[in-house]
């Protein structure tokens, strides 16, 4: 079927009643929006984007905790085709990223395609009809192609401490920040010391009567190179876009070199450890606090954090860093294994997300009636991080092994989107109704990946959310990002099965 035949009658407008589409995209983060924009740019109109929230942005809409910001530089953390000369800081705050994504959705005419307040309950491949039937909170959708842009950081991870249901104060996760809760004068307990916590703790500390920060593992924290982008710089980027592109390229290639320290040249990471230790020594004069905050694993094994404010905050009079493991939660306190009871009015969980589990996989059922989660058995695998045998016409953006610890995810997402477009084009050229990767192609791809993963810092022994329950790393791409771009540049027909349309 030609692209033109699939266009709906009214340009850019999708009837709210229509539930039958050529392409259904899930999510409006960088992945879903990027996919939608590319489809429109290529002349497609018969697609919808469903979004459970009431606005675009995905994780950048959902996360609005105080101090929420990107820890990847703004110049690379944006679409290559939509530079933004207006970033106010080198590392953008959440609201600017969400505004940027909204502007992209408006400027590229994606808004009429988005069905807000629509959550996917379950989606099934109908083998007879060769279509995806997607049950949502707003009715049933049918589509030839399904693209999941549901993101890796969408389902919060909440620890199940004994007694937690009896806690009488307020509790929330950083990804569902409850701004209604007035933190002024409260005794606050924060659990976890990951990327989110180190951003919000300095913001809430001045309000707290007392703040306990519960740390299980001391993270590596580097000095944050953030600074405001000057008016002069912004004018230059606006009137000479090439200057911003040059900046983008410089940051991208500089960050590409970091891969070596995570993979084949791990000795380089010692330089990072030296810098981080100096940072700790400079910011934490108290030797006992410094001892607690000294990491006991190789830098890079977990995500490397950036902050100039977190360490000084821990030294404030109203703050205690607690390293005693939590035994249980009482009605107004947290109790450690040694019996110490610390009172709390509010508990804030900075305990991260269900990344390796990919909770979305429990809602997608392929041609053999198996859920993706049953096929993956806790260890996700996708060809080129994007396609799965037994799940025809299904593409997962930010899929298994596409994550990065050193560079911008937007680059990986754009690589995948080009790959999906290639698949759609090929289907048209071959007059196919369905495409799925061959098991041998996937096995070869995953075998190579797993081999590359050996000897990297991510397998150096720490417990991290990069790893699944089997100790495999289904989260990160173990190489340069440009290698992923190269691998996904062209979909190899020999790695796929195509099902031709009946004559």
Q: Which residues bind ligand N01 (CB under 6 A)?
A: 69-72, 153, 159, 174, 191-197, 216-217, 303, 350-353, 465
CB of 295: closest distance to ligand N01 in angstroms?
Answer: 10
Q: Which is nearer to ligand N01, 359 or 390 (CB)?
A: 359
- Residue nearest ligand N01, Cβ-based: 194
Q: Which is nearer to ligand N01, 218 or 236 (CB)?
A: 218
- Cα 351 from Cα 368, distance rounded (Å): 35
Virtual torsion, Cα 247, 252, 254, 258, nearest 10 deg: 160
CB of 164: closest distance to ligand N01 in angstroms?
Answer: 11
Q: Which is nearer to ligand N01, 123 or 407 (CB)?
A: 407
Q: Which is nearer to ligand N01, 15 or 469 (CB)?
A: 469
Q: For residue 249, how many other CB atoms are within 10 A of its CB? A: 12
Q: Which is nearer to ligand N01, 118 or 408 (CB)?
A: 408
Give the burial string for 462-495 (b: 16+ CB within 10 Å, else e): bebbbbbeeebbbbbbbbbbeebbebbeebeeeb
CB of 109: closest distance to ligand N01 in angstroms?
Answer: 27
The DSSP line for 460-476 is: SS---TTS-TTS---SB
- Cα 500 from Cα 144, distance rounded (Å): 14
CB of 110: closest distance to ligand N01 in angstroms?
Answer: 22
Helix ranges (H only) for 179-328 are 197-204, 231-239, 241-256, 258-262, 269-283, 287-293, 310-314
Q: Which is nearer to ligand N01, 59 or 134 (CB)?
A: 59
Sign of CA dihedral 113, 117, 123, 127: negative
User: What is the 8-class DSSP label of residue 207?
Assistant: G
CB of 390: closest distance to ligand N01 in angstroms?
Answer: 29
Q: Which is nearer to ligand N01, 430 or 460 (CB)?
A: 460
Q: Which is nearer to ligand N01, 50 or 171 (CB)?
A: 171
DSSP SS3 for 299 = coil
- The answer to whether the beta carbons of residues 176 and 334 sit under 8 Å apart is no
Q: Which is nearer to ligand N01, 174 or 333 (CB)?
A: 174
CB of 71: closest distance to ligand N01 in angstroms?
Answer: 4
Structure tokens at 400: 């298994």
Intra-chain end-to-end CA distance of the chain, in Å:
13
CB of 99: closest distance to ligand N01 in angstroms?
Answer: 16
CB of 353: closest distance to ligand N01 in angstroms?
Answer: 6
Q: Annotate 110-173 with three-state secondary structure.
A: CHHHEECCCCEEEEEEECCCCEEEEEECCEEEEEEEEEECCCCCCCECCCCCCCHHHCCCEEEE
CB of 416: closest distance to ligand N01 in angstroms?
Answer: 18
- Cα 226 from Cα 363, distance rounded (Å): 39
């Amino acid at each position: 079927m030609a692209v033109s035949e699939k266009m709906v009658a009214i340009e850019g407008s999708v009837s709210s009643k229509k539930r039958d589409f050529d392409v259904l995209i899930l999510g409006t983060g960088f992945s879903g929006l990027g996919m939608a924009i590319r489809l429109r740019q290529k002349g497609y109109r018969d697609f919808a984007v469903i979004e459970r929230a009431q606005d675009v942005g995905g994780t950048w809409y959902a996360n609005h905790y105080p101090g929420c910001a990107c820890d990847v530089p703004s110049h690379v953390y944006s679409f290559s085709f939509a530079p933004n000369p207006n970033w106010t800081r080198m590392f953008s705050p959440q609201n600017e990223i969400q505004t940027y994504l909204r502007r992209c959705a408006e400027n590229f005419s994606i808004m009429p395609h988005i069905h807000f307040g629509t959550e996917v309950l379950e989606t099934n491949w109908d083998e007879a009809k060769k279509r995806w039937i997607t049950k949502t909170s707003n009715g049933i959708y049918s589509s030839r192609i399904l693209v999941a842009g549901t993101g890796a950081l969408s389902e919060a991870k909440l620890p199940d401490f004994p007694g937690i249901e009896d806690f009488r104060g307020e509790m929330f996760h950083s990804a569902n920040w409850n701004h209604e809760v007035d933190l002024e004068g409260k005794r606050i307990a924060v659990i976890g010391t990951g990327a989110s916590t180190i951003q919000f703790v300095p913001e809430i500390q001045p309000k707290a009567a007392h703040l306990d920060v519960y740390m299980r593992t001391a993270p590596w924290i580097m000095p944050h190179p953030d600074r405001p982008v000057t008016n002069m710089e912004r004018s230059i980027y606006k009137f000479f876009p090439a200057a911003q592109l040059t900046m983008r390229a410089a940051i991208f290639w500089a960050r590409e070199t970091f891969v070596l320290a995570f993979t084949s040249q791990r000795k380089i990471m010692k330089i990072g450890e030296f810098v981080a230790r100096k940072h700790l020594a400079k910011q934490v004069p108290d030797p006992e606090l410094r001892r607690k905050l000294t990491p006991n694993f190789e830098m890079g094994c977990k995500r490397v954090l950036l902050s100039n404010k977190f360490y000084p905050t821990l030294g404030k009079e109203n703050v205690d860093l607690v390293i005693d493991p939590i035994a249980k939660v009482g009605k107004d306190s947290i109790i450690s294994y040694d019996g110490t009871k610390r009172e709390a009015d509010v508990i804030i969980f900075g305990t991260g997300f269900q990344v390796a589990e990919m909770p979305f996989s429990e809602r997608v059922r392929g041609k053999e009636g198996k859920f993706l989660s049953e096929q993956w058995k806790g260890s996700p695998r996708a060809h080129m991080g994007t396609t799965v045998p037994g799940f025809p016409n299904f593409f997962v953006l930010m899929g298994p092994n596409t994550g990065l610890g050193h560079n911008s995810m937007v680059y990986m997402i754009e690589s995948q989107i080009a790959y999906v477009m290639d698949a759609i084009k090929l289907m048209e050229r071959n007059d196919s109704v369905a495409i799925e990767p061959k098991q041998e192609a996937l096995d070869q791809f995953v075998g190579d990946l797993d081999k590359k993963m050996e000897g990297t810092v991510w397998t150096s022994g720490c417990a991290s959310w990069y790893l699944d329950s089997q100790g495999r790393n289904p989260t990160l791409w173990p190489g340069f990002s440009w290698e992923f771009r190269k691998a996904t540049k062209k979909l190899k027909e020999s790695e796929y099965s195509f099902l031709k349309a009946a004559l």
